[in-house]
Structure 1
């Protein structure tokens, strides 16, 4: 899939740095650059990209205001905010087009994760929706194997090399890796919210913001708070909301 991309930033060095990092991804095709939101809007209307990497704090129109303007388009591009100001994170993620939030100076891994999230979003329409399944999860007890109904599982987490399944009936250890369990549970309402946590979305009660970059999930009838990686917040909100 080709991601036609525009970079908008009033700092030339930041544009060059981001351009350099994005060139490592064959899915990204840079179709334009701009040094202000106003000029960026002109480039967007002319080139019709499906992705914009956008600074927030700029002279004149800022990045958030530009995205609010882009929402009027029939097909607004996806946006990855790229800024030195973490205080904008919560407001940025409220915008429907926002896919990720990069902090300067840019990190190669962070940029790669943003590109992966963009690819996931733009291929989402071709993926099968979550549907109910009929399988059971096998967990080994001291003297027997027990089978759990996935719908009664709250969350699954990894601790070191061990995997634990937290269900309504208790916590069980599993010899199956978290990634493999994620694949097995694709027919159910599970979502990866962190590299070490898989959560049953039907059990989620609240998404709590502890700071501009730290989020946690509160589950129904459970006192545990599940950490949410910043890279998953936008997709998580889309999954939770109607």
Structure 2
């Protein structure tokens, strides 16, 4: 029987078995840094009408932690490269603010990660649960804005050579066509292959290096 309070912990334990003991938050971290770096690049054209996020460096560090947590939350059900960018955009917002029945970070249903970035996660959790909510709201809005800009960018499929060929393959394989993080990975220059379930589903994405997910 599915237990929502065990889902994140069970997913993390299974992920660790398949990835040399690493927590999914550890593997999400370099992609989060790359996403925030992409957003902050002066060469990035605006994708939406949202106001540009202006923060100090301490808050940007929390935004990186928040993007990594949004990725970790989605990784409970799919490899990081297969995360749909539209779902990723609202993931942390839903957990932190919208979902009335969602646990608070650090509770049983939303456990802290393990690994080298736990201090970053704890700083984010403290920010989101502080008695004075202004900073938490500011960081949460920034995470959402960054990820919505990425989602809008991905919707144009800037690296897809032949959408028809890609769509035909995906429809035949799964019956679903989604815009995923792997499709915009060439813009993020994270410097590592991105795990996906089906490498062939990304053959039409130029400049992309994928690896079959464990």
Instruction: Calculate the TM-score normalised by the size of structure 1.
Output: 0.20
The structure, 1 or 2, with the larger RCO (C-alpha pairs under 8 Å, 6+ apart) is 2
What is the TM-score of this pair, normalised by structure 2?
Answer: 0.22
Largest Rg, 1 or 2: 1
More helix by share: 2
